[in-house]
Amino acid sequence: QVQLVESGGGLVQAGGSLRLSCAASGFTHAIGWFRQAPGKEREGVSCIDVSTYYIDSVKGRFTISKDNDNNVVYLQMDSLKPEDTGVYYCASARHCSGSVAGYDSWGQGTQVTVSP
> 15-70, pLDDT tens digit by residue?
999 999 999 999 999 999 999 999 999 999 999 999 999 999 999 999 999 999 99
pLDDT band at 1 (very low <50, low <70, confident <90, very high): confident
Residues above pLDDT 90, as percent of the chain: 96
In the sheet that holds 62-67, the strands lie side by side as: 4-7, 18-24, 72-77, 62-67
pLDDT band at 105 (very low <50, low <70, confident <90, very high): very high
Note every long-range contact of 44-51, with CB atoms under 8 Å and residues 24 or more positions apart, other chains counting.
Answer: 44/97, 44/98, 44/99, 44/100, 45/75, 45/88, 46/75, 47/96, 47/97, 47/98, 48/73, 48/96, 49/95, 49/96, 51/96
pLDDT band at 85 (very low <50, low <70, confident <90, very high): very high
* pLDDT value at residue 98: 84
Which among 33, 28, 42, 36 is positioned nearest to 93, based on CA atoms? 28
pLDDT surpasses 90 at 96: yes
* pLDDT value at residue 66: 97
- Paired with 76 in beta bridges are 19, 63
Map residue 83 onto helix, strand or coil.
Answer: helix
* pLDDT value at residue 103: 96
